[in-house]
Structure 1
Amino acid sequence: MGLQAMSSKRAYNWFISLVAASCMVLYGYDASVFNSVQGSDNWVAWFDNPNENLLGGINTAYTVGAIFGGFFLGGPASDYLGRKMSMGIGCAFVIVATFMQTFAPRGNIACFIGGRVLIGIGQGIALTAGPIYIGELAPSEIRGKIMTFWQMFYSVGSFICFWIDYATTRAPQLGEWDWKLVIIFQLLFPILIICLLPTIPGSPRWYIQQQGDVEKARNALRRVRDTEEEVEDEILQIREALEYEKEAISSGYSALWKDKSIRKRLLLALVMNAGQQLTGQGSLNTYSTKIYEKVFTRESQISLINALNATFGILFTLNAIWFIDRFGRKALLIGGSIGMGLCMIIVSAVETETANTADGGKSEPVGIAIVFLFFFFILFYKPSWGATVWIWTAEVFSMNVRAQAVGMASQTQNVANTIFQQFFPTFLNNDGFYAFYLFAGINFLLGLFVWFFIPETKQVPLEEIDALFGGANHVTQGEEVLANRKLDSRGRDILDKPATVNVENVEAN
């Protein structure tokens, strides 16, 4: 096992997965960039001092774009153009939108908002394709470990953004470039991803499902599997599952409502992804500066805390690598819910039961304690409801609906975030840190939800996961279907024929 883990093909499997996971850097960076630039006096002056409603509209423009991209474009793009092509398209949107925001004419807030919408659309497409690609190429025994980097790269994006922002606050001579630099550095990863996409194989499941080309699927798997036996076993499982889905369910998205077990999974995934943003993490990401303003009075302190929070977020997410395939998804989610709930109770009590100083903040020991408790919250969140929700969502859907279902489920995060964050600032202003008792209750309820409704998916092959949700085992059921349809009049395997449809190979090896 140790030798297998160190093989060149296993290392290459990690490489291609990390390329796909880099799409999450786009999300992490952009989730932090607007929070950073709106604190710049130069940005405020450049766009004629936008009021609070307009600031809210700029933030909402991104989420609307992401919801549209994820719900309506991500699934079809991943299915019909391919996982690789979709990641490239999403990155291209981000590149164009970054230039629109950076070089928006003075006072032209509409151009800036348009860039925010395009970035949302691009991320909605890329964030649908990325986890699907990882789930379809990674071996089941390390799928959880690899998908951990998906969430960790969110923290990488925040890390880069917040430290660039901190550096620009220390260089007042930059003028208007103090905010433009923060935005234009967003080009780094989409350009890198586009350059690396030609070095990774296409999805073998996509080749068989959309092109009917078993040989291309076989060649793709040979690049990431150690033995020919593994390749042939996986090819057979994919074909059996696809044949059953075509015969017994539907090869299209209608299975989302026709198949009872898929409907169940979609509902569970929607709750899980919405719950991820209601743990309190969504509010900390969006309003960390406003939250810390109730504790600290110096802007430099808050900027440094945000940067450190992103740094520790990377380290804390790495914990999932050791835990996800050892203890399983369910245990991590429940343990994370309990830990986050307790942190929210304690941080609320510490802030509300201590006196303010003369300048309206808190004493240094109290401030340090609150920061420590929020960091402790992140310690519980990152490997559980941060990483594991993405892992679980990417692996529970059958092939015929996987792209569309993952796109819809993941963008539920933005739906929940958009709705909740509209009233959270008012809640925080009126009730202060008492608001965090609400998050404690939500976290405990989420733990109960997982306990009663979420099955364990650790190390279950993707083609066999349906049986966990009351559905048929698509591999087993597909054996009979494939056996009956296997040969044509000349005794040749139908599915081994070259693809008859003239589709440009957008996922060329």
Structure 2
Amino acid sequence: MIFSMTRKRAYNWYISLVAASCMVLYGYDASVFNSVQGSKNWLSWMNNPDAATIGSINTAYTVGAIFGGFFLGGPCADYLGRKYGMGIGCVLVMIATFMQTFSPHHNLACFLAGRCIIGIGQGVALTAGPIYIGELAPPEIRGKIMTFWQMFYSVGSFICFWINFACTKNVPQLGEWDWKLVVIFQLMVPTLILALLPTIPGSPRWFIKKNNNIEKAREALLKVRDTVEEVEQELLEIREAIEYEKEAISSNYSALWKDKSLRKRMGLALVINAGQQITGQGSLNSYSTKIYQKVFTSDSQIALINALNATFGILFTLNAVWIIDRFGRKFLLVVGGIGMGLCMIIVSAVETETPSLANGSKSEPVGISIVFLLFLFIFFYKPSWGATVWIWTSEIFSMNVRAQAVGMASQTQNVANAIVQQFFPIFLDNEGFYAFYMFAGINFLLAIFVWFFIPETKQVPLEEIDTLFGGANHVAQGQEVLAQQKGARLEWEGDEKPSAVVEDVGK
């Protein structure tokens, strides 16, 4: 089916892209620390931290993100609203950016604290953003719109790495600002998001769930749906689903362990979100500078490769726009896992089975081959385990637990990342590219897991997705609950009328 681009459909894209900009924060920050590790001025400013300390700096960020996502993201999005969740996250990112940029000389503690706070901010923002998109995007284009969520991660990396490349070309003039400029430019996107948040509507599902404010929900939907009939039908479905969840399951987070279907969804979401980070992409994001230092000797050459990697990442993620709703989520995850596994095997073999030059680097043809293979890896990763994991996670949970569940599942990425990133730099120093054989095995296992356990959610309305996981259809069950409530109300009114008539006759 072909959908014309109406004015309201275009506005739907606009508000979704504003929310997706939260992912730019993540992409930029994941690349910031990768970039500054290549700066001799940063190393000197921070008193030349060793590999274990470098791992601890990454861990400080992930601990903050885990705390923000598990304990703050859901409550902020549920009690204050999706827009406030995004806004609070942006403010924390801005505070932490100043802390990192102006860390005192040889004061690693201030920089570490900034990394932790920026993690908290992103944990909050990255919980609210995909929920907002999922709740306002029409089912038929939800996958396409959510693709931009992952693409904006690449946009963040793109901005950061090109700024870093420019700084590496001007180190003598910039001095210590060769790394401080890279860090402080992180203020740009959260400032833009805060300026644009007042121009987008709140979530209609949140309005009904929080205060049963049907008029506010109707007002929000009228801005993004083409007909009044669509609005009224969606409002009815939302009310029915929420009513059923409140009456038959639980209106709070306890449903995550009370409801068998939700427990199953939570388990699957935890696995694939953790899987996203142990594909090898998390290590490439954080340590590509250290990885390429084993192949190349020029800092500016490594910075250029990182910048080109981020540029191609944007293009590769855009592939998901036209295939996510055509082939489905499951197909992409399986093909992506197999493709990434093959890339990791080949890149390991190329690096470990070829001789090194006298200066420790590789010959130019070998270096080019390794860069090509790592670019091919992100060709498979970006539309599959990059974009699709976020799309699938934001779709599968019912309204009563969606914010908390998405926050917990998405921050499982950082739990896995914290574990891998703590030992990976040491593993890389000791074993070199043999480390990538581990990622190859993980990717094949992930593809097998998806094939057997992950159901397809392509173009399924959010209120009806529960049936895919063995749960009840919340819309159909909600119809019965509302009908019973209506019948009880009519019966009560019928019982009241005779006495009122008698009283009136008596007068």
TM range (shorter): over 0.9
Quote how far apart the aligned CAs of 1:191 are: 0.4
Is 1:102 matched up with 2:101?
A: yes
Partner of 1:147: 146
Q: 5 Å matches for 1:208-219?
A: 208-219=208-219
Partner of 1:503: none
- Residue type of the partner of 1:352? T
SS at match of 2:126: helix
| 8 Å CA contact 2:56, 2:422 repeated in 1 | no
Quote how far apart the aligned CAs of 1:109 are: 2.4
- Residue type of the partner of 2:249? I
Is 1:463 matched up with 2:463?
A: yes
Partner of 1:166: 165
Q: 5 Å matches for 1:384-463?
A: 384-463=384-463
Is 1:382 matched up with 2:382?
A: yes
Rounded to whole Å, the distance in 2 between the matches of 1:353 and 1:45 is: 35
Quote how far apart the aligned CAs of 1:321 are: 0.2
What do residues 50-81 of structure 1 show as CA deviations (whole Å, max 9, x unaligned)?
Answer: 34443332221111110000000000110000
Rounded to whole Å, the distance in 1 between the matches of 2:45 and 2:278 is: 34
Partner of 1:309: 309
| 8 Å CA contact 2:55, 2:423 repeated in 1 | no
Question: Could you tell which deviates more after superposition, 238-247 or 480-489?
Answer: 480-489
Quote how far apart the aligned CAs of 1:477 are: 0.6
Quote how far apart the aligned CAs of 1:437 are: 1.6
Query: Identity percentage over the alignment?
Result: 78
Quote how far apart the aligned CAs of 1:488 are: 8.5
Question: Could you tell which deviates more after superposition, 11-20 or 286-295?
Answer: 286-295
Quote how far apart the aligned CAs of 1:491 are: 10
Rounded to whole Å, the distance in 2 between the matches of 1:86 and 1:114 is: 21
What do residues 267-314 of structure 1 show as CA deviations (whole Å, max 9, x unaligned)?
Answer: 000000000011111111111112112211222221111111011000
Quote how far apart the aligned CAs of 1:105 are: 2.6
Rounded to whole Å, the distance in 1 between the matches of 2:93 and 2:427 is: 33
Is 1:340 matched up with 2:336?
A: no
Partner of 2:236: 236
| TM-score calculated relative to the size of structure 2 | 0.94
SS at match of 1:142: helix
Partner of 1:118: 117
Question: Could you tell which deviates more after superposition, 477-486 or 212-221?
Answer: 477-486
Quote how far apart the aligned CAs of 1:422 are: 1.6
Rounded to whole Å, the distance in 2 between the matches of 1:139 and 1:51 is: 49
Partner of 1:227: 227
SS at match of 1:359: coil
- Residue type of the partner of 1:251? S
Rounded to whole Å, the distance in 2 between the matches of 1:362 and 1:47 is: 30
Quote how far apart the aligned CAs of 1:27 are: 0.4
Quote how far apart the aligned CAs of 1:430 are: 2.7
| 8 Å CA contact 2:82, 2:132 repeated in 1 | yes
Rounded to whole Å, the distance in 1 between the matches of 2:205 and 2:492 is: 21
SS at match of 1:361: coil
Partner of 1:264: 264
| 8 Å CA contact 2:243, 2:478 repeated in 1 | yes
- Residue type of the partner of 2:144? K
Quote how far apart the aligned CAs of 1:420 are: 1.1
Gap change, CA 1:54 and 1:280, over 3 Å in 2: closer
Rounded to whole Å, the distance in 1 between the matches of 2:48 and 2:428 is: 24
SS at match of 1:182: helix
Quote how far apart the aligned CAs of 1:357 are: 1.9
Question: Could you tell which deviates more after superposition, 387-396 or 39-48?
Answer: 39-48
Rounded to whole Å, the distance in 1 between the matches of 2:426 and 2:95 is: 34
Question: Could you tell which deviates more after superposition, 215-224 or 344-353?
Answer: 344-353
Partner of 2:76: 77
Gap change, CA 1:194 and 1:371, over 3 Å in 2: same
Rounded to whole Å, the distance in 2 between the matches of 1:174 and 1:434 is: 37
Rounded to whole Å, the distance in 1 between the matches of 2:361 and 2:110 is: 38
Quote how far apart the aligned CAs of 1:350 are: 1.4
Partner of 2:207: 207
Gap change, CA 1:107 and 1:434, over 3 Å in 2: closer
Partner of 2:288: 288
Gap change, CA 1:466 and 1:177, over 3 Å in 2: same
What do residues 75-133 of structure 1 show as CA deviations (whole Å, max 9, x unaligned)?
Answer: 01100000001100000001111111112232332222221111111000000000000
Is 1:62 matched up with 2:82?
A: no
Rounded to whole Å, the distance in 1 between the matches of 2:348 and 2:113 is: 38
- Residue type of the partner of 1:234? E
Rounded to whole Å, the distance in 1 between the matches of 2:131 and 2:103 is: 35
Question: How many pairs does the alignment contain?
Answer: 492
Unmatched segments (≥5 aa) in structure 1? 494-509
- Residue type of the partner of 1:104? S
Gap change, CA 1:59 and 1:225, over 3 Å in 2: same
Rounded to whole Å, the distance in 2 between the matches of 1:444 and 1:153 is: 27
| 8 Å CA contact 2:168, 2:299 repeated in 1 | no
Question: Could you tell which deviates more after superposition, 333-342 or 257-266?
Answer: 333-342
Question: Could you tell which deviates more after superposition, 352-361 or 392-401?
Answer: 352-361
Partner of 1:322: 322
Rounded to whole Å, the distance in 1 between the matches of 2:230 and 2:391 is: 23
What do residues 409-453 of structure 1 show as CA deviations (whole Å, max 9, x unaligned)?
Answer: 000000001101222223223322222121111111111100000
Please report the RMSD computed on the Cα atoms of aligned residues, expressed in angstroms. Answer: 1.6
Gap change, CA 1:41 and 1:481, over 3 Å in 2: same
Gap change, CA 1:54 and 1:431, over 3 Å in 2: closer
| TM-score calculated relative to the size of structure 1 | 0.94
Gap change, CA 1:11 and 1:483, over 3 Å in 2: same
| 8 Å CA contact 2:30, 2:285 repeated in 1 | yes
Rounded to whole Å, the distance in 1 between the matches of 2:367 and 2:46 is: 34
Rounded to whole Å, the distance in 2 between the matches of 1:372 and 1:276 is: 21
- Residue type of the partner of 2:67? F
- Residue type of the partner of 1:109? L
Partner of 2:27: 28
SS at match of 2:328: helix
Rounded to whole Å, the distance in 2 between the matches of 1:301 and 1:440 is: 27
Is 1:352 matched up with 2:364?
A: no
Rounded to whole Å, the distance in 2 between the matches of 1:382 and 1:39 is: 25
Gap change, CA 1:492 and 1:270, over 3 Å in 2: farther
- Residue type of the partner of 1:433? F
Gap change, CA 1:44 and 1:440, over 3 Å in 2: closer
What do residues 162-203 of structure 1 show as CA deviations (whole Å, max 9, x unaligned)?
Answer: 111111111121112111111110000000000000000000
Gap change, CA 1:187 and 1:486, over 3 Å in 2: farther
- Residue type of the partner of 2:12? N
The structure that has the greater radius of gyration is 2
Partner of 2:370: 370
- Residue type of the partner of 1:367? G
Gap change, CA 1:258 and 1:58, over 3 Å in 2: same
- Residue type of the partner of 2:299? E
Quote how far apart the aligned CAs of 1:492 are: 13
Rounded to whole Å, the distance in 1 between the matches of 2:390 and 2:282 is: 15
Unmatched segments (≥5 aa) in structure 2? 494-507
Rounded to whole Å, the distance in 1 between the matches of 2:105 and 2:355 is: 44
Gap change, CA 1:300 and 1:446, over 3 Å in 2: same
